[in-house]
Chains A and B, each alone.
Chain A
C-alpha cells in the first residue's frame, strides 16, 4: 500500500523536475546560470491560473486532446515498475496496453492539431505520425526482446528480469535494445537530435507545431504530460541501464530518484553536445533504432 502511494506521488510530482535538471545542465554547459531548478513547476502554476482562448473553428476534440493525452500517459505510468518495486497495476499482456497508451495519446494530440483547421498544425501532425511509424515498431521489438529474455508477458517480470539475472546484463541483445530504447526515448519526448523543444522555427518543429493553438491551462496540461512521458520512458530505460538495488526499501526509492535525475542530466549533456538533425535525416536515426531492436530480437531467437 505504502509502495503504491510513493509510486503515485513520484509519478505526479517528480516529472517537471526532470525538465529543470535538463535545462540546468544545458545552461551550465553553455556557461550560463540558467533558470532555477523548480522553474517548470512555476511555469505550470502560472499557466494554470491563466485564461484560455478557443478558436471558433475548434470542436470538443480540441479540448479533449490534451486531457486524454495526460490521462493515457498517467495510466501508462501506473503500468511501469519503478526501480526494484512492483507496478500498481499488472496483468498478463500489459506491455501491449503500455505501447498503445502512447499510441492513443499520439492519436488525440494529432486529432486536436488537425481540429484547429490550420495547415501549419496539419503539417506537424503529419510529421509526428510519420516518425511514429518507425518508433512504434522499434518499441515493440524492444519489448519483445525483454519478454523473450524473461519468458513473461507482464511488465513487472520482464523489467525485473535484468536484476535477478545480473551477470547476464551486458549480454548482446540487451545492449542493442538499450541503444534502441534510448533513441526512442529521445524521439518520443522530442529531445534534441530529433526535435528541439525551444525552437519556434517552421522548418524544424514536430511536436511544438501541434500545440501552437493551445493556451493557458490546456498548454499547461500538455507540458505536464510531456514531462510525464519523459519520466515514464526514463523509468523503463533505467531497468536496462542501471538495474541496481540495495535490498532496503528506504534506500531504493532515493536511489531510483537519483538514477532518474542522472539520466536527465545525461540527456542534458547530450543536448549540449549535439545539434539537431536535419528533418530528412530523422527517419535514418529512427530506422537505425528499429534495426537495432530488430537485430536484438534476431540475436535472441537464432
Chain B
C-alpha cells in the first residue's frame, strides 16, 4: 500500500514539472486536471476500511478536479480568445530547473522534520511541500490571469496532500465544504477573468495596476 502511495505521489511530482515546462495553457489545464484526479485516489489508499462516505468524497474530488474545473477553465480560455502561449516571467527551462531544485531540497530536508513514526517512510510531507512551492512558482512567474488560477490550483493540490496526514480525522461534511469552496472560487475567478478580458482586451494582470480613464 505504501509503495502504491509513493508511486502515485511521485507521478504527482512529475506532473508538477510538466506543468512548469509546457508552453500551452490548454496542456497545463489538462496536466493540473490529471493531477487533481490522481490525488482524489489517495484517500482510498490511506483508509484502512472503505466506508460509503470515503468513497463518495473521493468520487467528488475526482469528478470536480478532474472534469468540472478543467472544463470550466477550457470554456473561459475559449471565450477569451487569447494567445495560447504561456509567456512566463522567467523562461520555461529555468522554471523547470527551479522547480526540480525546490523538489530536491524538500526531499532532502523533510527527513529532518519531527514527524510521527508511521509517516517517515511515505512521501506525503515532501510531496505536499514541493507541490505548494511549485504552485508559488507558477503563481509568481505567470502573467495571464488563467495561468495564475492554474498556479492556485496546484497550490491547493499541495495543501490537499498535506491534509492526507489527517485523513482519518476530517469529517465528511468539512471535506465536502472544501470542495464547494474550491468550485465556487474557480467559478467566480473564471467569470472575473472574462470581465477583465472584456474591459482591458487582455488577460495580462500587469495591466490591472494602471487606472483606466475614458
- Contacts from A to B (Cβ < 8 Å): 167-168, 170-173, 175-176, 179, 281, 283-284, 287-288, 291-292, 294-295, 298-299, 302
Question: Bound state CA distance, A170 and B3, in angstroms?
Answer: 6
Are A167 and B3 touching (Cβ within 8 A)? yes
Give chain B's interface residue range (CB within 8 Å of chain A). Answer: 20 to 34
* Given contact pairs A283-B93, A291-B96, A291-B97, A172 touches B104 in the complex (Cβ within 8 A): no
- What are 22 A-B pairs with beta-carbon distances under 8 A? A170-B3, A171-B7, A172-B3, A172-B9, A172-B123, A173-B10, A175-B7, A175-B10, A175-B11, A176-B14, A288-B18, A291-B100, A295-B13, A295-B100, A295-B104, A295-B107, A298-B107, A298-B108, A299-B107, A299-B123, A302-B107, A302-B108
Q: Give the chain B neighbours of A294 by CB distance below 8 A.
A: 100, 104
Is B150 engaged at the interface, CB distance under 8 Å to the other chain? no
State the total of A-B contacts with C-beta under 8 angstroms. Answer: 56
Q: Give the chain A neighbours of B11 by CB distance below 8 A.
A: 175
Are A171 and B17 touching (Cβ within 8 A)? no
Question: Bound state CA distance, A222 and B203, in angstroms?
Answer: 52
Q: Give the chain B neighbours of A281 by CB distance below 8 A.
A: 23
Chain A interface, >50% SS class = helix
Are A295 and B103 touching (Cβ within 8 A)? yes
Nearest B-chain residue to A301, judged by Cβ: B108
Shortest Cβ distance from residue A290 to the other chain B in the assembled complex, whole angstroms: 9
Q: Mark B1-28, 1 if CB is under 8 A from A, else 0.
A: 0011011011101100110010100000
Is B111 engaged at the interface, CB distance under 8 Å to the other chain? yes
Shortest Cβ distance from residue A168 to the other chain B in the assembled complex, whole angstroms: 6
Residue in A167, A172, A284 whose Cβ sees the most chain B Cβ within 10 Å: A172
Are B108 and A179 touching (Cβ within 8 A)? no
Are B14 and A292 touching (Cβ within 8 A)? yes
Q: Give the chain B neighbours of A284 by CB distance below 8 A.
A: 21, 92-93, 96
Residue in A168, A173, A284, A287 whose Cβ sees the most chain B Cβ within 10 Å: A284
Are A176 and B100 touching (Cβ within 8 A)? no
